[in-house]
A and B are shown apart, each in its own frame.
Chain A
Amino acid sequence: MTELESIGLQSIGIVALLSIFMGAVICLQTAHQIGGWIPVYTIGFTVRQTMILEFSPTLIPVILAGKVGSNIASQIGTMRVTEQIDALEIMGVNSANYLILPKVIAGVLIIPFLVILSMFLGVGAGAWIGVATGLSPLADFEYGMQVDFRVYDVIYALTKTLVFGFILTSVSAYHGYYADGGALEVGRSSTKAVVWSVVIIMISNLLLTQMLLN
């Protein structure tokens, strides 16, 4: 429960903030580019597709790699350099199991919910800004949201999210667990955790997209 709270509930604010602004910006950018023979409902369609296919399932985990990943790495890294992990081992506790597994499970369980929340907020914010600025009537936006909607897109997005949740928690925990030295090394392990999580998430994103959409 503590891990669910730490990884999930405490990330709702940043996820909501980014999703709302990103949905609104996508709406404005799409409206700026369409015209002539391109129908207005394209705005709703584009916001939906962007949020569901890429922004929420990929960029939210990337952002969480920065927030949650660095937190996991520095927390476990500090436990390593202050001998707390040695203390667990001396007691006969499997320290990797005790420290890492709950974080990975929590990440895999809670991050998909954050991503679903992001999708709703992003699309909602897009609709709101479209109507508020007069760029897209609500009816057109709603129609665009429903055009060519495939449930499989959501399944694809959530599948990616599960994988990315596993990657960001396990890679971060690995770097923290094998930190060695003092405060400087903990800082380095935290940076490495974020960088490697993002790199692996991006590569996995490419591979998963190729596998699941083609």
Chain B
Amino acid sequence: MIELNHIYKSFGEHEVLKDIQATFERGKVNFVIGRSGSGKSVMTKCTVGLIEPDRGHVTYDGRDFTAMSVVQRKAIRREIGMLFQGSALFDSMTVEQNVQFPLRMFSDLSDPEIVRRAAECLERVELPDAGARFPSECSGGMQKRVGIARAIAMNPKYLFCDEPNSGLDPQTAIVIDNLILDITREYEMTTVVVSHDMNSVMEASDTIHFVHEGSILWKGDRAGLLQGGVPELEEFVFASDLMRQIRQSPVGRNTNLKP
């Protein structure tokens, strides 16, 4: 479980995060949603330590990450896997070498074991034959899957996904969503997904945190999201004609959507 307690962060005069309090549960896919510029990426970066919060505490299963030394943080970071928006694969390495990289850096595994583990991870994301390719030779969806394979190579306890579906077609996006969901269940990880893609939210979320202007305005699940209740959330969720039509349709009414 990851807990964010009273996190504040400003850049100059601009206060980006204001008193963020959130709990991301183990074995669940915890979504953080919100408009572009709402502060959700900064919140994630504060959570993993890429940005230092001005105030507040981040705890990983009760361990206060913000109070740790650099060395202690490294130990926690080895329990974290992260899928970046642009995949962030090392472009000078092949797909296989990318997945092997964290194992070579931090595990005590022998070379054949590393090769086997990397192959397992690639198999898990259904890319068993892509190992020899370079990232530039892979499609966007493949790169995301390789990113997931690399993220899970060290059997992480925590998985962060920053906009995992950005730039993907809807079918591939669903594949990635389901992969994240399955892996979370399989590895019993605490998964945090930052997204503004409503399809993903409806496909894969267990819990949802809605960030608006640097604060968490609403927390809940898929059913609660469709019921709305907070004007800013409703504006965000029902921004498209399609979502408004669904809300007014018999299907929407039957799922307790507000008229």
Instruction: Tell me the A residues contacting B by CB distance below 8 Å.
Output: 79, 82-84, 86-87, 89-93
Contact = CB atoms under 8 A, between A and B. Distances in A.
Contacts of A87: 82, 84, 88, 90
B86 A91 contact: no
B84 A92 contact: no
Interface stretch (B72-80, B175-183, B223-231): B72-80
Given A83-B84, A83-B85, A90 B90 contact: no
Contact of B88 (A82, A92, A93): A82
Nearest to A82: B86
Contacts of B73: 92
Nearest to B90: A84
B252 interface: no
Nearest first, the 9 closest Cβ-Cβ pairs linking A and B are: A92-B77, A83-B88, A92-B74, A87-B88, A83-B84, A90-B82, A92-B78, A84-B88, A91-B102
Interface residues of B, number: 22
19 contacts: A82-B86, A82-B91, A83-B84, A84-B91, A86-B82, A86-B84, A87-B82, A89-B77, A90-B48, A90-B50, A90-B80, A91-B77, A91-B101, A91-B102, A91-B105, A91-B106, A92-B73, A92-B77, A92-B105
A94 to B, nearest CB: 8
Contacts of A91: 77-78, 101-102, 105-106
What does DSSP make chain B's interface, helix, strand, loop or mixed? mixed
Interface in B43-72: 48-50
- Choose among A83, A89, A91 the residue with the greatest number of B CB atoms under 10 Å from its CB: A91
- Choose among B74, B88, B89, B101 the residue with the greatest number of A CB atoms under 10 Å from its CB: B88
Contacts of B80: 90
Contacts of B50: 86, 89-90
Nearest to A78: B91
Contacts of A84: 88-91
Contacts of A79: 90
Contacts of A83: 84-86, 88
Interface in B228-243: none
A92 B102 CA distance: 9
Interface in B100-121: 101-102, 105-106
B153 to A, nearest CB: 10
Contacts of B90: 79, 84, 87
Contacts of B106: 91-92
Contacts of A92: 73-75, 77-78, 105-106
Interface in B119-139: none
B74 to A, nearest CB: 4
